[in-house]
Chain A
Amino acid sequence: MDALLDFARGPFFRFSFAIMALGLLRVIVLDLLGAYDAYRKAGEKDLPWGLIISRSLQWFIPINRVFKYRPIFSSISILFHVGLLLVPVFLFAHVHLWKQAIGFGWFTLSKEWADWLTILTIASGIALFIGRVFTRSSSFLSRFQDYLWPLLLLVPFISGYVCANLTISPKLYQLLMLTHVLSAELIFILMPFTKIAHCVLMPLSQFVSNLAWKFPADTDDAICTTLNKKGAPV
């Protein structure tokens, strides 16, 4: 068990963290390159830059248009995202580990804040999951992995909370710690290859979707070729 935990904290952590960091960077670069290709071939070159920027910014401000239509869902979602970002990055224990490994740390959350944020994150995660199952419009759009994601995200939070606050036997502690570390690393590895990549692609989404309306001149023919309906009227 100790050897396994050491492996999970050492080499495997470095592996998954590298996959996450460089993988997300890769996704951005590939996206930008693809967008540049499309832009170069685009029939019409002028994009509504003002609109793109204002819409992108709107997504970062919690009180947006969606908030008007689905206030409960939006506020829970915001809470979930805030906890998801703040707790792992600014938890004292995590920063302490960073300090040991690379020599410097940063601002940390106080113990009370971290605990409450963790509980709120877990609660909002469960709420979102239930919402996804029972809201008809959501469940219609959801694939299997979309149900799995919120559950997987909650595993490290729950196990971490138990390890940090409850009195449990050392064996169970180690088991839970292993679960905590491994599940977090699984999330790291999956991040760049799944929809979680939206954490870095969000700023680009408006740009790309606007670009999509400026398809290159002969795109219609190409689409027809793809659909094996060459020569069909568009």
Chain B
Amino acid sequence: MNNRVRITKLILWSIVGFAGAVGITRFLFGLGATTNLTDATPWGIWIGFDVMAGVALAAGGFVITAIFYIFKREEFHSFVRPAVLTAFLGYLAVVFGLLFDLGLPWNIWHMMIYWNPHSPLFEVGWCVMLYTTVLLLEFSPVPLEETSRYARIRRILMKFRFPLVLLGIMLSTLHQSSLGSLFLIMPFKLHPLWYSHILPLLFFISAVALGLMMIAYESLVSHWLFRRKPETNLVEKLAKAAVWVLSIYFIVKMADIWLSGEWHLMFDGSWESYLFILEMLISTVIPIILFSIKKVRTSTAGQWVGSSMVVFGMIFNRINVGGLTMLRATGDTYVPSWMEITISLGVVSAACLAFLFAIERFHIWKEKPQDPEWEPYTPPVFDHTSEVWLGTPPLAARTKYTLVLLLSFALGFALIPSHKIESKGVEIVPVQKARGGDTLFIDGNHDEYGVLFAHTQHIDSLGQKQSCDKCHHMNMPMDKATGCWECHRYMYSPTDAFNHDWHADAHGGNIACTQCHPKGKERQAETAKKCDDCHLDLLPSDNPIKVENYTAPPYVTAMHELCVSCHKKKAEELSDKKNLALCTTCHQSAPPKYLKAEISKHLSGPYFNHVVIPGVNLKQEKEQLHKNE
């Protein structure tokens, strides 16, 4: 087997395996756990690249059928089958990739029964469905050649070949352009350099240009891969045609920008203006110049450079329209997560593998590049990398590729960031203690937006020194009034108030397992001793809050539950103090001036996690308590 093909296949298989692990995660834990999408950027790279660029890259199919069947250019015969196959696999990849992006992918068939013909997406959906079916029917005679069993079906398909081709071209025209129509509804979000009322037209023209170049690019890549003689003459003809189409695209685009008076935006120095110039250079201007020179057009290297510039430039264009240039309007920052990128690459790799699979088994080209099944029997060979005896080539290939798939799948599974899944989008914000003197400014996350809390006044009105218990419902050992922030340690996430490792550690509590976990029972939190079985002073006797387990709710929740419930009750009791239960009564946007000095003193101080009471021997006190018991 050809080494280039083998290495390419190994890489593709490993990407597919890696993406497979990520894909499973996406369906197990949802979009928030795997993507960096936000409420302001609900479409990311899965739409910009997989769908928008994917459909555009599959344009080769309708362009080549138009050239061959409509314009009767018989010399392009050898391009028809690979291009139709690419288009078919490209559309399958788009649909498959879309399944990851849709929130409710199992409802995708709803498009068939619930109609909203006003929606461009409805039209795109239907066109993709129909065109994929048409492509399947256009392509299926090729695999049917292999067996004589379905000769009749093949004959019927061949008879309807021309109408199918026609239908395919009509459908493609429609939805290549309606992909542009999708963005007509976002005039305020999409940057004016990309937004245009003729977006559908621009999308269609660029799709034709990209289709031409995609056929050329694919021919170049596959001929390099299988070490075949490149079809330089035909590619040159395509390049010549592309110059015309690209020129039309360039003129229409510039005229549109000129007429809508956005010319100055191209040179205003914003990052969008550079992005636009870069995109136009790569996708249009440089390829036009390159392919206008006959010497470049006829050389393989020139063809490589020119066609890859158009292909990547147009992908770039689709990503720009698909969301990148909306970031200024939405004020959002979006960088795709590595998991999003992996899935995109995985879908593409799977399509490439399917292409290679088809090309080895069916007559896509005049001769099949290699057909392992037909090779004569060869003795098993010893493979020095995996140290096993490999059987016949197909068996060896199977063994190797699946091994790579397996390893990269496991690696992908191991790399999945569990903290991103567990956090559910909530950032861990540590809480710091309230600052001030008689009046405290409660501002756990130090964002200067907090609650002014008259501590001394509450003590006075709730019953002097005996009233601590009413709010301080659980105290650290040897403490009378533990601050809220010591157990409720995070703003929005719960904390485990019980420090297991400290209790078990020789330098800490030094307690044996069986002192808390009864023998003969599962060692778990539910069956263990409760904290207040040992710490007798943990829970004040008349506290208002029932401590059910030792998972402390988030700081915000805890404060609201404690304060608001009491304030609501009081507001109902006292008719003259209705304001007591209003949020703004307590919540301040900034700390008052007279507290500023006090607050800044604490701001730079260390963050204590536990109260240290000087002069208290914990162990001694504990023994004393047990004696009293």
Contacts and interface: CB of A to CB of B under 8 A. Distances in A.
B522 A225 contact: no
Contacts of B521: 111
Given A14-B416, A167-B512, A22 B410 contact: yes
Contact of A14 (B405, B413, B505): B413
- A contacts with B: majority SS: helix
Interface in B491-532: 501, 504-506, 512-514, 520-524
Contacts of B416: 14
B399 interface: yes
B409 A18 contact: yes
A170 B502 CA distance: 10
A11 B406 contact: no
Given A30-B398, A102-B28, A170-B501, A15 B411 contact: yes
A107 to B, nearest CB: 15
Contacts of A167: 512-514
Nearest to B515: A167
A107 B512 CA distance: 30
Contacts of A18: 21, 409-410, 413-414
Contacts of B506: 169-171
B395 interface: yes
Contacts of A135: none
B402 interface: yes
Interface residues of B, number: 34
Contacts of B28: 102
A15 B512 contact: no
Nearest to B392: A37
A11 B523 contact: no
A26 B413 CA distance: 17
A57 B369 CA distance: 45
Given A18-B21, A170-B506, A30 B402 contact: yes
Contacts of B405: 22, 26
Interface string A1-20: 00000000011101111110
B514 A11 contact: no
Interface in A206-232: 222, 225-226
A43 B523 CA distance: 61
B321 to A, nearest CB: 38
A15 B514 contact: no
A196 interface: no
B406 A26 contact: yes
B379 A226 contact: yes
Contacts of A112: 520
- B contacts with A: majority SS: helix
A14 B409 CA distance: 10
Interface in A186-214: 192
B544 to A, nearest CB: 32
Give chain A's interface residue range (CB within 8 Å of chain B): 20 to 34
B406 A19 contact: yes
A170 B409 contact: no
B418 interface: yes
B410 A15 contact: yes
A222 B399 contact: no
A23 interface: yes
Contact of B414 (A11, A37, A96, A102): A11
A93 B526 CA distance: 12
A12 B505 CA distance: 26
B323 to A, nearest CB: 32
Contact of A225 (B377, B406, B501): B377
B415 interface: yes
A164 B523 contact: yes
A112 B521 CA distance: 9
Interface string B583-618: 000000000000000000000000000000000000
A193 to B, nearest CB: 9
A92 interface: yes
Interface in B391-442: 394-395, 398-399, 402-403, 405-407, 409-411, 413-416, 418
B380 interface: yes
A171 B407 CA distance: 34
Contact of A12 (B414, B418, B512, B524): B414
A152 interface: no
A11 B413 CA distance: 8
B379 A225 contact: yes
A190 B180 CA distance: 52
A33 interface: yes
Contact of B520 (A111, A168, A169, A192): A111
Nearest to A92: B522
A93 B527 CA distance: 13
Contacts of A92: 522, 524
Contacts of B524: 92-93, 96
Contacts of A71: none
Contact of A22 (B406, B414, B501): B406
Nearest to A7: B414
A131 interface: no
A22 B522 contact: no
A62 interface: no
Contacts of A19: 406-407, 410
Nearest to A110: B522
A29 B401 CA distance: 13
Contact of A222 (B377, B411, B512): B377
A101 to B, nearest CB: 8
Interface string A41-75: 00000000000000000000000000000000000
Nearest to A115: B520
Interface string A61-104: 00000000000000000000000000000001100100000100
Best-surrounded residue of B395, B415, B520, B522 (most CB of chain A within 10 A):
B522
Contacts of A10: 418
Nearest to B17: A22
Contacts of B514: 167
Contacts of B512: 167
A29 B402 CA distance: 10
Interface in A127-149: none
A-B pairs, 7 with minimum CB distance: A15-B414, A18-B410, A18-B413, A11-B414, A170-B504, A19-B410, A14-B413
14 contacts: A11-B414, A14-B413, A19-B407, A22-B406, A23-B406, A34-B395, A37-B395, A92-B522, A167-B512, A170-B504, A171-B506, A173-B504, A192-B406, A226-B379
Given A15-B414, A26-B405, A170-B505, 4 more contacts: A19-B407, A26-B402, A26-B406, A192-B406
